[in-house]
Amino acid sequence: MSTMKIAMLHGPRDLRIEEHPLDTNLAPNQVHVETQISAFKIGTDRGNYEGAEPVAGAPDYPRWVGDSNLGVVVAAGNQVTRLRVGDRVVSRRPHQSAYVADADEVLVKVPESVSSEDAVWSHLYTLSAFCYRKAHFVPGEAVAVVGLGVLGLGAVALAPYLGARVVGIGNHPTRLQMARDMGADEALMWDDEDLQDKLADFTGGLGIDLVILTANPWPAWRTACEVVRPEGRVSVVALPGRGEAPLDFNPVSMEWFYSKGISLIAVAGKGADQYPTRSGEDRFDAIRSCAHTLCWMERGLAPSKLITHRMPYGQMAEAYEMAYHREKNMLGVIFQW
């Protein structure tokens, strides 16, 4: 029996680093992983921290936080073949110093050429990629990303790899510059009086085919539905309205929704496979999809460019407080274990 440290949320804005027991007597199919770094997913994790409306299925307090963990396999059971001692792996595990897991859990080996500070974001960037796939993106389409947090900027950065022309739409000049740094063809403020005209120029008058909505506030929802072209799609990976005041408008107004004939697509569950395998095997399961994201990182995709803070895990509560106060210069945060 050993111990590990883990971040536990006991209530709104009550985050504690605790020491818990860890049974390191491995079953034949288990691995023991020691965490090197974990990443702070500011949007969702901040909502949990400040006590916003719980996500469906989330446990009650006290509960763990975080879901982007990179560690090293330090021991493996005698039936484990997919992973070896010394492998770096990314997982959806919380902010914790170590863990024991079944080897068939969503643990993905990191290629040697990919840095840990890039790889730790791979599950999140896989979600960014899913925003395109769930909406049946076609190369050459014009894409607008509304909300320029880590998830939105991941969608921006993936655009050239997927064959998209992309415009980032945000609420702060710092985030617009980050979007440009990540490869956006254009970056615009959501409240720009000439936003529609500028998007028309960007698309040659054809309009935005696909909007990827990553921001929760209702004004972002309205912007997404307004800027998409008639018959276009809005790929919704945000949690619209979470932590927001009651609405003063109809979120499915006839003007923005029915009359335009747009499709609102929830980026959750699985995307339909138009060409399934004969075996029925899921070609886009969590492990394969994350491994594909790591391949993009081998070819130059670099989420680490967005890192603004590197902090020891003991300062985690300080980082969450900074996010609570909406510090716009804070984006990519790495906790070092």
Q: pLDDT tens for residues 274-297? A: 788 888 788 889 999 999 999 999
What is the Cα–Cα distance from 306 to 179, expressed in whole angstroms?
10
Query: Which CATH code of 3.40.718.10, 3.90.180.10, 3.40.50.10320, 3.40.50.2300 fits the domain covering 2-123+304-336?
Result: 3.90.180.10
Identify the pLDDT of residue 54. 66
pLDDT at position 282 is: 84
Is the distance from CB of 64 to CB of 94 less than 8 angstroms?
yes
Integer distance in angstroms from the first to the last C-alpha of the chain?
20
What's the CA gap between 139 and 123, in Å, rounded?
A: 23
Q: Is pLDDT above 70 for 330? A: yes
Residue 55 DSSP class: P
How high is the pLDDT of residue 60? 80
Domain ranges (residues) in the chain: 2-123+304-336, 136-266
Instruction: Tell me what pLDDT residue 44 has.
Output: 76
Q: What is the pLDDT of residue 48?
A: 81
User: What is the mean pLDDT of the segment spanning 254-260?
Assistant: 91
How many CA atoms lie less than 13 Å away from 307 in the CB half-sphere?
20
Report pLDDT digits (tens) over 124-156: 999 999 999 999 999 999 999 999 999 999 999
What pLDDT sits at residue 56? Answer: 58
Q: What is the mean pLDDT of residues 228-241?
A: 94
What is the band of 1 on the pLDDT scale with cuts at 50, 70, 90? confident
User: Encoding tokens for residue 78?
Assistant: 């005698």
What's 248's DSSP letter?
S
Q: pLDDT category, 315, cuts 50, 70, 90?
A: very high
Per-residue pLDDT tens for 197-234? 999 999 999 999 999 999 999 999 999 999 999 999 99
Q: How far is CA 67 from CA 39, 106, 180, 263, 280, in A?
A: 8, 12, 27, 29, 29
Q: Does domain 136-266 have CATH number 3.40.50.150?
A: no
pLDDT of residue 237: 94
Whole-number pLDDT of residue 129: 97
| pLDDT tens digits along 13-56 | 999 999 999 999 999 999 999 999 999 988 778 878 887 666 65
- Taking only the tens place, the pLDDT of each residue in 48-91 is 888 766 665 567 889 999 999 999 999 999 999 999 999 999 99
Over residues 261-276, mean pLDDT: 87
pTM of this prediction? 0.92
Q: What is the pLDDT of residue 275?
A: 82
- Supply the pLDDT for residue 181: 94
Question: What is the pLDDT, as a whole number, of residue 6?
Answer: 98
Angle among Cα 69, 71, 75 to the nearest 5 degrees reads 135
Q: Which residues contact 79 (CB under 8 A, 6 or more apart)?
A: 28, 29
Rg (CA), the chain: 20
Asked if pLDDT for residue 247 goes beyond 90, the answer is no
- List, for residues 101-128, the tens digit of each pLDDT value: 999 899 999 999 999 999 999 999 999 9
Tokens of 112: 């040697």
Tell me the residue type at 13.
R
pLDDT at 278: 82
